[in-house]
Amino acid sequence: AIGDAQQSPKQCLSTEVTHPAGKCADFSERDACLAHQQDGAPCCYRGEGFGEGLKCLRQGDSQISWDTQPDMCAKTRGAQWEPFPKCGKLCHNRFAFEPDLTSKGCSDCFVDAAFGECECRVECPQGYKKPLTWESDHKLLTTCDAITGQFEDPGKCTPPDTGDRPCRIEHSDSLIFSDGCFNCKNDGKCNCDVNCADGFKVVGQVSEGPRDCIKEPYVCPPDCNWDKQANICKSKDGVPVESACCNEAKRSEVTQAKWSDAMPTCEPKCPNIFRQEGVRFSTGCDDCVVSDCHCSVECETGFTFFGGPLGTRECVQEKGKDPAFAPLAPVCAQEKPKSFECPVPRGVGLKVDGCRDCVVKDGDESVEPEDCDCAVTCDRGYLPESSTPAVSSSDKKQCNIIAKDLTSVKSCENLPRDACINSQDSN
């Protein structure tokens, strides 16, 4: 972690929200209204308007009444986390796994040099011959690749011509090596087990499991000659070559260490993002990699599909990013039972008794008269028209659900709020 913020449990703190100043009455859009304040008071929005065509007014304005209460006012308080630590990406210290190299300070190097200087010192073990490209008895590395986090290849130290040699372990985030794999020599007596790391899946023909370190004769590079006088190996052009096996006199004695089986190929899995309420996914979604994925999703019974496609999913990986499912999870939710309030009856010649706060819930055919005290008759001097149901002074009325007429549009995208909730996609 970099900076003053500590790596520790964090609290969610209440904070004051500051909005830019503006004249509330100038705003007609909900989002713009709720993002401003006027004279220290938040702007308030009402979709049906406060009167005079105004939908946005300053909190406390005289035009806001009991009958024209705002839908919402700009928030004056919010929440935010305590400061998080700033984490710098470390270089991969692959030299910790190299049997033919020793390293110091390579585990504390950041990919971004702005976080601190890097002094990764690489040396050859005792008895090994240093690479010809080294100007001293060690190699100092100060940077690593900004994308992969890998240090440059410092070259390989040449092991002694005789004796047992360790098998090389190539550092990989995708593999886990058991303790017996380290310093495992080619005497065939090591106890090494290699498996895919958590979050990875083995692919291809090579399986996980035990490995042994065995001896294999060196194969001399083509067109190389041993210069006995200089005691080095040279190419036909006289360029020194780093290879102990060119010593023909010792060729039969020089062997290299080799794993009995190749290392497994492990691909990163796509994290299963479908563990959400209302979403049902197939068992293959827990084991998806880019090269092998069998995953499908749908909404659970009792949940409504609102968006995001259903069906099969692919595990994809963009350059420099972790693998992820595409498309993302569908939106499946249980709609809360809706309730609707019947408006108070109004009309010329009507006599209304009660009929206030009459509410019906979605799914109910009606609210029974005893649950809703509402009687509507013709006032004195009026009679019901012949086309209307007969009305008597004792008639009780029920509050019924009716289908709402929506405007058909070619696309719901980018519609204003009020138009959106009163429209339907004709496609």
Which DSSP string do the residues of 334-372 spell out, in sequence order? PPPPPEEEPPPP--TTEEEEE--S-EEETT-SEE-GGGS
Q: Is 146 helix (H, G, I), strand (E, B) or coil?
A: coil
Q: How far is CA 323 from CA 92, 275, 320, in A?
A: 20, 17, 10
Write out pLDDT tens, residues 330-361: 888 886 666 777 888 888 888 888 888 887 77
Q: What is the mean pLDDT of residues 96-120?
A: 87
pLDDT of residue 393: 43
pLDDT of residue 422: 81
What is the rounded average pLDDT for all residues in the chain?
Answer: 83
- Name the nearest CA neighbour of 81 among 16, 35, 15, 2: 15
Report the distance separating Cα 59 and Cα 411, nearest Å: 35
pLDDT of residue 395: 57
324 CB burial (10 A radius; 0-12, 13-18, 19+): middle
Q: What is the mean pLDDT of residues 391-396?
A: 50
Report the distance separating Cα 135 and Cα 132, nearest Å: 8
pLDDT surpassing 80 at residue 398: no
According to DSSP, residue 101 is labeled -
According to DSSP, residue 151 is labeled P
Q: Is 267 helix (H, G, I), strand (E, B) or coil?
A: strand
Report the distance separating Cα 417 and Cα 71, nearest Å: 13
- Name the nearest CA neighbour of 144 among 99, 108, 168: 108
In the block, residue with structure tokens 């700009």: 74
pLDDT surpassing 90 at residue 45: yes
**Spatial contact of 365 and 399, defined as CB atoms under 8 Å apart:** no
Report the distance separating Cα 343 and Cα 67, nearest Å: 14
Alpha helices in 307-424 (DSSP H): 417-420
- Alpha carbon dihedral 5, 8, 10, 15, in 10-degree steps, equals -20
pLDDT surpassing 90 at residue 24: yes
109 CB burial (10 A radius; 0-12, 13-18, 19+): buried
Structure tokens belonging to residue 374: 């509402």
pLDDT band at 214 (very low <50, low <70, confident <90, very high): confident
Structure tokens belonging to residue 107: 């585990």
Structure tokens belonging to residue 274: 């479908």
Q: Is 31 left (phi over 0), alpha (psi -120 to 50) or beta?
A: alpha
pLDDT band at 405 (very low <50, low <70, confident <90, very high): confident
pLDDT surpassing 80 at residue 227: no
In this prediction, what percent of the chain has a pLDDT beyond 70? 82
pLDDT of residue 383: 82
Report the range out of 15-24, 321-330, 331-340, 415-424 with the highest average pLDDT. Answer: 15-24
Structure tokens belonging to residue 409: 């549009």
Q: Is 359 left (phi over 0), alpha (psi -120 to 50) or beta?
A: beta
pLDDT surpassing 50 at residue 328: yes
pLDDT of residue 343: 84
Q: What radius of gyration, in Å, describes the C-alpha atoms of the chain? A: 38
pLDDT band at 226 (very low <50, low <70, confident <90, very high): low
**Spatial contact of 105 and 120, defined as CB atoms under 8 Å apart:** yes
pLDDT of residue 250: 44
The residues pairing with 299 across neighbouring beta strands, listed in sequence order, are 279
pLDDT band at 72 (very low <50, low <70, confident <90, very high): very high
pLDDT surpassing 90 at residue 194: yes
Write out pLDDT tens, residues 264-307: 999 999 999 999 889 999 989 999 999 999 999 999 988 888 88
Write out pLDDT tens, residues 233-257: 677 677 766 654 454 434 445 567 8
> What are the backbone angles phi and psi of residue 47, rounded to the nearest 5°?
-60, -35
pLDDT band at 389 (very low <50, low <70, confident <90, very high): low
**Spatial contact of 218 and 246, defined as CB atoms under 8 Å apart:** no
According to DSSP, residue 362 is labeled T
Q: What is the mean pLDDT of residues 106-129?
A: 89
pLDDT of residue 241: 64
pLDDT of residue 392: 44
